[in-house]
Structures are given as structure tokens and as C-alpha cells.
Amino acid sequence: MGILGGGAAGLTIASGAAQLGAKTLLIEKGKELGGDCLHFGCVPSKTLIRTANVYHLIKNAKHFGLPQVDLPPVDFKEVAKRIQSVISIIQKHDSEERFCKLGVRVEFGQATFVDEHNILLNGEKYSSKTWVIATGSSPSVPSIEGLDKTPYITNREIYSLERLPKTMIVLGAGPIAIEMAQAFCRLGTKVSVIQRSDQILTKEDKDMADQVMKVLSDEGVAFYLNTSVINTMEAGSEKEITIKRGEEVINVRGEIILVAMGRDANLNGLGLKDLDLDFDRAGIKVDHRLRTNQKHIFAAGDVTGEYQFTHAAGYEGGVVITNAIFHLPRRVDYTFFPWCTYTDPELASIGMNEKGAKAAGIKYSAWIEEFKDNDRSLAEGEHIGKIKMILDEREKPLGIQILGPHAGDLVSEWVAIMNGKVKLSTLASAVHPYPTLGEINKRVAGTFLSGKIFSERIKKGLKFFFNLKGRACEPLNRVITP
Ligand SMILES: Cc1cc2nc3c(=O)[nH]c(=O)nc-3n(C[C@H](O)[C@H](O)[C@H](O)COP(=O)(O)OP(=O)(O)OC[C@H]3O[C@@H](n4cnc5c(N)ncnc54)[C@H](O)[C@@H]3O)c2cc1C
């Protein structure tokens, strides 16, 4: 098997295929294995977010009954050093040596298909019965007047800045944009976010996304929603972006522009046109078994333009192995696919949200519990957020959204519940340790069920059979006179 791309998808497939006994060639264009997640994505972003959150906590020490601390400004070189040290630890796991030990031959360079079974790499021809394209994605750079002459950065440069920028303009308001906006704001940068639509994190329900935006606004991030970008230019030591909101024209200035406006599939140089493979700018077209229109060529991960997450790439890698190595017809199923945006508080999701249910014309009910009613949240000083459970007409969970502390971890219980088709009554009656954030999962199920258990019908039945006598106390309506 030949695999193009040594990121999350390619590495999963390479290690699985080699360990199952397939002769496996892995080709990576970059200098090292690991892909975007390790070098420019999940790992550096979550490391940076942790650093920013620690700084934010220290700055807000007085909210925890501690003395106020006057902190010196952040030295971003030190932050970048910590990021690189975390990457280098994980890099060992994704090393060429480790993959060679597993039986994978690793080659570095840009591979190009010469026909449907052969590729050219560094002047040599390699042949394989099965190929997998797992070349990932790159930041999409929109065609905005002046942007080609205005210096900007993307997720590839942001983790190795020489110093903390005083000001930053973020173009886009998806997960990458919003995570970075909060992290840099917490480190001390004055951040402005420019977004075309009326909502940040547009895939999420508006009420959840608006709550995230409120947190960031309160911390100092400036949002420009419902805007169109007219042009960008260099303005001395700064950059200037002119935007239009209705009839209003606004100039926003910043030391750095971060472009985070979606992703394009990495297809350049692969020679796909000559191969007659179905693809567009968003990605390579695949069927449910991740086969392209050339059935012996598979595609997995970001390059398909579908669910652009590391855990999606890993999952899809497993599906490719089952189809290509075991020759069993396994299909991808994203019904209960979870994800999380790592703002503070985090916003995690699994299954369908209200937006999705409305778009699909499904009748649903929404059940909400707030973190301000969770004892552990109060103890932690983390009282913002809520869990929203969406049930279908048969009262089965369609989806869950959690905005709150450690939401990404809390949603994992729902991964098991929804995939295992566990009844809500089982969750509600299962003992959870006290006091934990996880009790919110049990509680939302309990709130839904309590409407049924404590109904007038049940009460009447119990009164009839067991002669229950009813209330022992009526609410007092006393007027207190001084
Ligand atoms: C800032 C940021 C934060 C993110 N945070 C998260 C997160 O918290 N959680 C999460 O789940 N996901 C996150 N993601 C998304 C995640 O990084 C991607 O979904 C994941 O890396 C996709 O894996 P992949 O294998 O498809 O692609 P990649 O990991 O990008 O790997 C593709 C590899 O192919 C190589 N390549 C490209 N072209 C060729 C070629 N022609 N020949 C050979 N090799 C080639 C590339 O060099 C690269 O190494 C984040 C992304 C970004 C940008």
C-alpha cells in the first residue's frame, strides 16, 4: 500500500497496514512526520491556550480570594519555546524510526501520480496496487483586494512569533480564529475579529456561539460581525483593513493580520487531473467507503474536505484499513461525531444541534441545565455555560451541546451513551461522583425524566394504590411586618 501524507490519517493507515503485514510505503512532503495537528494545529494551539489560561488565572487571582498580582508582560519567545518542547516530545511518537520499526518504509518528498498505479518521487518511480491520498489541508486565503501585498500570518506562523503583538486582526470566526483570538487577548494582545455573518462559530447553535462571543467580548476582544472586507494595506508599522457594515465604512488597524478563513485541500502537484480523479477546491470526492472514483485509490482526513479534525482523520484511517486490507465493506458514519472548540469555556458538540434538526425538518425538544446550578462549577469559579440536550419525537437523543468547563471531556460520556444506545433512564439513575462537573450530564437526563415521574397521572396512581396523603406543607404567603 502507498500512502501520500504523514499526518493523522496517513500515520494511522501506515501503522495499521504495516502491522497487518502489508508492504507499506509512506511519503511525506515536509521534513518530519506528524502533519498539521502536531506542527501547526491541535498540539501548538492547545499548548498556547493552556499558557494563556494560566496567565489569565493569575491575573484574576483576586476572584479566588488570593492577593492581586502585578504581572510582567508576556515574553512570547518563552511561550514559543514551551510550544516547541511539547511538539518535540510528541514528535518521538511520530518519528521515522518508530514507523520503520513497525515495518513502514518512509520517504520524504513531493509525490506525483504518473498513472493510476505509479507515482514519481525524487526522480524514482514507485508502484502500488492500492494508494491512499492523505495530504491534509492548508489555510484558505481569500481573494481580498490588497491582501497579496499586505503581510499576514496563518496558523503556520502564529506559534513561532518573535514577540507578542500589541494588536492583531483576525479574519474569520471559526474555531481556529476564535481559539486564537481568546488566547492572544488573554496574553495581552488587543484583538479584533472580523466576520462576514451575524454569528461566530457558524456551525454551532446561535445561542451557544453568542455566549462564547460574550465571554470573549467581556475579556476585551472586539467583534465586527455582518461585515464585508473591502481591502487591506500596509500602514506604516501596522496593517489596515477596511470593512463595510451596512453603509458604515470602518478602518481596523493591527500589527498582525491572522487569516483563518477556512481550509483548502492539499492537491497541488499530485497530478490528479491526468488521473481523471473527481475533486474540487474543497477536496477529493469519496464514497462511503472512502474510495475515490478510481476504486483502488482511497482518500482520508482533511483532504476530503469533510470533517476536518484529527479524530476524524484517525477514524477514517481505520475505515480505509478495513476496506483496503481486510476487503470488508465498512462505511463511514458521522451520526454521532463529536468535536470541541477549546475556548474557555469550551464548546463541545455531538450529533445534531437545533440548527441541524431545523434544517432536516425534524421535530425535537431541547432540554437545558446550567453550569451555575452545578456545585463543582461554583467551587471552581466556572459558572458560565450550559448543556443542551436535543431529543427527537420518540424522546431519543439526537445531539448534545455543552458550553462549559472541560466540555470536551464531558461530552465523552455522551459518546458512549449515544453510540451504545444507552437509555436516558440508565444515565439518570447511574451514580456519579459528587461534586463533579459530570453530574450535569446526569442532571439534564434527570430533568427530562422528572417531568414524567412527578406527573399528576403518576401521583394520582400512587394515591389510589397506596393511599398517599399529599402535601404536608403549603408555600407560605406571609406578609412580614417590621
Ligand atoms: C490551528 C489548528 C488547530 C486545530 N486544532 C484541532 C483540535 O484541537 N482538534 C482536532 O481534532 N483537530 C484540530 N485541527 C485540525 C487537524 O489538525 C486536522 O484535522 C488534521 O491534522 C488532519 O489530518 P490529516 O492527516 O488529514 O492532514 P495533516 O495532518 O495536515 O497531514 C497531511 C500531511 O500530508 C503532507 N503532504 C501534503 N501534500 C503532500 C504531497 N503532495 N505528498 C506527500 N505529502 C504531502 C503534509 O505535509 C502533511 O504532513 C486543527 C487545525 C488547525 C490548523
Tens of pLDDT, residues 238-254: 999 999 999 999 999 99
Nearest-CA residue for atom 20 of ligand 1: 310
Nearest-CA residue for atom 5 of ligand 1: 42
Cell of 434: 459528587
Is residue 379 within 8 Å of residue 428, measured between CB atoms? no
Provide the mean pLDDT of the chain: 96
**18 alpha carbon to ligand 1 midpoint, in Å?**
21
| Alpha-carbon 244 to chain mean position | 29
Nearest-CA residue for atom 33 of ligand 1: 5
Nearest-CA residue for atom 12 of ligand 1: 309
Q: How confident is the model at residue 279 (pLDDT cuts 50, 70, 90)?
A: very high
What pLDDT does 204 receive?
98
H helix or E strand, kind and range, residue 90: helix 76-93
| Nearest of 365, 415, 426, 420 to residue 395 by alpha carbon | 365
Q: Does 400 sit in the ligand 1 pocket, CB within 6 Å? A: no
Cell of 255: 500589527
Q: Does 110 sit in the ligand 1 pocket, CB within 6 Å? A: yes
Probe ligand 1: pick from 37, 90, 332, max atoms within 8 Å of CB?
Answer: 37
Probe ligand 1: pick from 3, 32, 42, max atoms within 8 Å of CB?
Answer: 42
What pLDDT does 318 receive?
98
Q: Which atom of ligand 1 is nearest to the CA of 34?
A: 49
Q: Which atom of ligand 1 is nearest to the CA of 11?
A: 25
The tens digit of pLDDT for each residue in 319-349 reads 999 999 999 999 999 999 999 999 999 999 9
Res. 303: pLDDT tops 80 = yes
**How far is residue 170's CA from residue 189's CA, in Å, rounded to a whole number?**
12
What pLDDT does 67 receive?
97
Q: How confident is the model at residue 478 (pLDDT cuts 50, 70, 90)?
A: low
The tens digit of pLDDT for each residue in 32-64 reads 999 999 999 999 999 999 999 999 999 999 999
What is the residue whose three cell numbers read 412580614? 480
| Nearest of 329, 450, 303, 403 to residue 7 by alpha carbon | 303
Nearest-CA residue for atom 3 of ligand 1: 41
Amino acid identity of residue 251, one-letter, is N
Instruction: Report helix angle 206-219 to 175-187, nearest 10.
Output: 20
| pTM to 2 decimal places | 0.95
Q: Which atom of ligand 1 is nearest to the CA of 111?
A: 42
The tens digit of pLDDT for each residue in 215-235 reads 999 999 999 999 999 999 999
Nearest-CA residue for atom 1 of ligand 1: 41
Is residue 138 within 8 Å of residue 305, measured between CB atoms? no
Q: Does 401 sit in the ligand 1 pocket, CB within 6 Å? A: no
> Taking the C-alpha atoms of 11, 12, 15 and 16 in order, what is their torsion angle to the nearest 10 degrees?
-160
CA distances in angstroms from 393 to 193, 353, 361, 362, listed in the order given: 39, 15, 12, 8
What is the residue whose three cell numbers read 502537484? 269
**37 alpha carbon to ligand 1 midpoint, in Å?**
5
**42 alpha carbon to ligand 1 midpoint, in Å?**
9
Q: Does 5 sit in the ligand 1 pocket, CB within 6 Å? A: yes
**How far is residue 253's CA from residue 237's CA, in Å, rounded to a whole number?**
10
**348 alpha carbon to ligand 1 midpoint, in Å?**
20
Q: Does 27 sit in the ligand 1 pocket, CB within 6 Å? A: yes
Q: Which atom of ligand 1 is nearest to the CA of 308?
A: 19
Q: Does 311 sit in the ligand 1 pocket, CB within 6 Å? A: yes
Say whether 270 sits in a helix, a strand or coil.
coil
pLDDT (mean) for 177-182: 98
What pLDDT does 458 receive?
86
Number of C-beta neighbours around residue 459 at 10 A:
13
Given strand 386-392, what is the order of strands in its sheet?
A: 338-341, 346-351, 397-404, 386-392, 364-370
| Nearest of 342, 392, 375, 365 to residue 176 by alpha carbon | 342
**243 alpha carbon to ligand 1 midpoint, in Å?**
31
**Residue 347: partners with Cβ closer than 8 Å, 6 or more residues away:** 201, 204, 208, 209, 212, 340, 341, 401, 402, 403, 407
Cell of 131: 494508494
Q: Does 28 sit in the ligand 1 pocket, CB within 6 Å? A: yes
Q: Does 33 sit in the ligand 1 pocket, CB within 6 Å? A: no
**How far is residue 336's CA from residue 397's CA, in Å, rounded to a whole number?**
10
Number of C-beta neighbours around residue 177 at 10 A:
24
Nearest-CA residue for atom 19 of ligand 1: 309
pLDDT (mean) for 172-198: 98
**DSSP states of 142-180:** ---BTGGGS--B-TTTGGG-SS--SEEEEE--SHHHHHH
**131 alpha carbon to ligand 1 midpoint, in Å?**
18
**How far is residue 13's CA from residue 90's CA, in Å, rounded to a whole number?**
18
What pLDDT does 479 receive?
60
Res. 480: pLDDT tops 60 = no
The tens digit of pLDDT for each residue in 375-398 reads 999 999 999 999 999 999 999 999
Q: Does 140 sit in the ligand 1 pocket, CB within 6 Å? A: no
**How far is residue 391's CA from residue 351's CA, in Å, rounded to a whole number?**
11
For residues 472 and 188, the model is more confident at 188
What pLDDT does 482 receive?
52
Is residue 50 within 8 Å of residue 141, measured between CB atoms? no
Q: Which atom of ligand 1 is nearest to the CA of 310?
A: 11
Q: Which atom of ligand 1 is nearest to the CA of 342?
A: 8
pLDDT cut 90: percent of the chain above it? 92
**259 alpha carbon to ligand 1 midpoint, in Å?**
17
Is residue 150 within 8 Å of residue 180, measured between CB atoms? no
What pLDDT does 454 receive?
83
What pLDDT does 445 receive?
97
CA distances in angstroms from 43 to 9, 313, 375, 460, listed in the order given: 16, 15, 31, 57
**151 alpha carbon to ligand 1 midpoint, in Å?**
24
**How far is residue 127's CA from residue 140's CA, in Å, rounded to a whole number?**
32
Say whether 295 sits in a helix, a strand or coil.
coil
